[in-house]
Amino acid sequence: MNYAVSGGKELSGTVQTNISKNAAVALLAASLLNKGETVLKRMPRIEEVKRLIEVMESIGVKIVWDESGDMRITPPEHLDLLSLNRAAAERTRSIALFIAPLAHLFKSFDLPAPAGCDLGKRSLGAHIDALSKLGIQVSGNEETHTYHVEVGVMNPAEIVMYEASDTGVENVLMAAAKVPGITTIKFASANYMVQDLCVFLRHCGVKVEGVGTSTLVVHGLESIATEIHGHPSEDPIESMFFISLAATTHSKITIERCPIDFLELELYTLSHMGLRYEMGERYASENGHTVLRDITILPSELVGAPDKIAPRPYPGINIDNLPFFVPVATQAKGKTLINDWVYDGRAKHYMLMQKLGATMELLDPHRVLIEGPTKLHAADIEAPPALRPATLLLIGMLAAEGESMLRNVYPINRGYANLAERLKKLGATIEAVE
């Protein structure tokens, strides 16, 4: 699928933040901990979720997904890993989240190594190191492109994460959830999807202390076998997409149901760049934990950021929100330095904005210097194989005058549902074409 975009128009209206991709895939994996039936509410109809469903159904899990988005998951008496849909598994890095749940069911097994986004050298190092403390050994086989898992005697442990990896902590949480006793996880990510998983585990009867902090204490259970309802919360990265879109196109847009705790530093940074916005009252997401606010972005005269913009573990700027500062910076007077220090190769994708007329310099594999404001123009661009860089190009095209084409937008569809239709409701001219 490609996106044909006629840009350069001021947008307006209201859009609602959808359910988080990263929370949804974490809860899908965690449903395998439950021998009973799990109901996940309002699950997003995105490609990443669909790939995991294909994998789960191939090993015998029954999944019924109704029109409202609610998903009913019923495990079989025995999973059949020999029938695992390898093609679907290889298309999502989220398959790595199955390691811990399956370790409670099998003493030895293989999983296809995830491909996912092309973001440079990334490994499961944080997973492997931490899971080994609980008795789960993970190794890679380059010839078969699989992860091999061997499960020994599982005991609770005190774990120090050498990297505040979101998925690494999620795997450790799911492993510890069914290891009786107390497991302490230090230097844990406190990001939104981790908090959602902690809330879900509490619904499973697992006591989790320290949610929202860098130290989590898990009181594991022998078994989980009951009907459980899970509520993945709204996606702060999607909220940030629309915030960036409004700022870049100098539009007035209201974004509803924004998880404010995961956007505060982003908004504060944008305010230093001249962005004006208004916020509504606080209210709770359906999970009863996540705090939401409606945010209205106002047309603003933007200036370059006074300091470099770089991501940090929560409560810092989210690593997945960092790319959305790129299109904003192209419309800001002065220079903005963006330091994507986490990923080895993602900054190179930012440079595709040059095809739209952006004035940018790649200082090294991590740092991009952007000078604005720049009048963007239309271009025909192949979407990079990475979700967030692909979406920032779409924002640039919506701001650029003329007819643009963004080709092969599967990376965007991994994380965004019905995006073209939602953009049309804001006044954008965009069509999904073959």
Structural domain ending residue among the three candidates 230, 249, 279: 230
Cβ atoms of 145 and 113 closer than 8 Å: yes
What mean pLDDT is predicted for residues 33-53?
96
**148 and 121, same structural domain?**
yes
* pLDDT of res. 121: 45
Query: Given the structure tokens 């609980």, which residue do they identify?
Result: 134
**186 and 102, same structural domain?**
yes
Query: What is the C-alpha separation between 4 and 430, in angstroms, rounded?
Result: 6
Query: Given the structure tokens 């442990």, which residue do they identify?
Result: 157
Residue 116 has pLDDT above 80, yes or no: no
Q: What is the pLDDT of residues 123-137, one digit of tens each?
A: 688 889 999 999 999
Count up the domains in the chain and report the number: 2
Q: In three state form, how does the secondary structure of the chain look?
A: CEEEEEECCCCEEEEECCECHHHHHHHHHHHHHCCCCEEECCCCCCHHHHHHHHHHHHCCCEEEECCCCCEEEECCCCCCHHHCCHHHHCCCHHHHHHHHHHHCCCCEEEEECCCCCCCCCCCCHHHHHHHHHCCEEEEEECCCCEEEEEECCCCCCEEECCCCCHHHHHHHHHHHHCCCEEEEEECCCCCHHHHHHHHHHHHCCCEEECCCCCEEEEEECCCCCCCEEECCCECHHHHHHHHHHHHHCCCEEEEEEEEHHHCHHHHHHHHHCCCEEEECCCEECCCCCCEEEEEEEECCCCECCCCCECCCCCCCCCCCCHHHHHHHHHCCEEEEEEECCCCCCHHHHHHHHHHHCCEEEECCCCEEEEEECCCCECCEEECCCCHHHHHHHHHHHHHCEEEEEEECCHHHHCCCCCHHHHHHCCCCEEEEEC
- CA–CA distances in Å: residue 290 to residues 39, 43, 267, 269, 276: 19, 16, 18, 22, 24
* pLDDT of res. 144: 82
Helix axes 236-248, 387-399, angle to 10 degrees: 30
Residue 119 has pLDDT above 60, yes or no: no
Per the structure, the complete domain to which residue 179 belongs is given by: 21-230
**295 and 407, same structural domain?**
yes
Q: What is the pLDDT of residues 14-27, one digit of tens each?
A: 999 999 999 999 99
**226 and 238, same structural domain?**
no
**331 and 222, same structural domain?**
no
**103 and 72, same structural domain?**
yes
Structural domain ending residue among the three candidates 190, 206, 230: 230
Residue 117 has pLDDT above 90, yes or no: no
Round the CA-based radius of gyration of the chain to a whole number and report it: 21
Structural domain ending residue among the three candidates 188, 209, 230: 230
Residue 115 has pLDDT above 80, yes or no: no
Q: Is the dihedral of CA 275, 278, 281, 283 positive or negative?
A: negative
Both tokens of residue 70?
């609610």
Residue 430 has pLDDT above 90, yes or no: yes
Q: What is the pLDDT of residues 342-391, one digit of tens each?
A: 888 899 999 999 999 999 999 999 999 999 999 999 999 999 998 999 99
AA letter at 376: L
Residue 349: CATH number of its domain: 3.65.10.10
Cβ atoms of 318 and 311 closer than 8 Å: yes
* pLDDT of res. 126: 86
Residue 50 has pLDDT above 80, yes or no: yes
* pLDDT of res. 319: 95
Both tokens of residue 142?
């380059």
**186 and 89, same structural domain?**
yes
Of the pLDDT bands very low, low, confident and very high (cuts 50, 70, 90), residue 69 is very high
Q: What is the pLDDT of residues 243-259, one digit of tens each?
A: 999 999 999 999 999 99
Of the pLDDT bands very low, low, confident and very high (cuts 50, 70, 90), residue 120 is very low
The pTM of the full predicted model, rounded to 2 decimals, is: 0.95
**13 and 30, same structural domain?**
no
- 130 burial class (0-12, 13-18, 19+ CB within 10 angstroms)? buried
Q: In three state form, how does the secondary structure of 76-144 look?
A: CCCCCHHHCCHHHHCCCHHHHHHHHHHHCCCCEEEEECCCCCCCCCCCCHHHHHHHHHCCEEEEEECCC
* pLDDT of res. 110: 94
**239 and 226, same structural domain?**
no
AA letter at 13: G
**145 and 62, same structural domain?**
yes
* pLDDT of res. 122: 54
Residues with Cβ within 8 Å of 268's Cβ and at least 6 positions away in sequence, in order, are none
Of the pLDDT bands very low, low, confident and very high (cuts 50, 70, 90), residue 212 is very high
**353 and 223, same structural domain?**
no
**287 and 155, same structural domain?**
no
Query: Given the structure tokens 């859009």, which residue do they identify?
Result: 15
* pLDDT of res. 348: 95
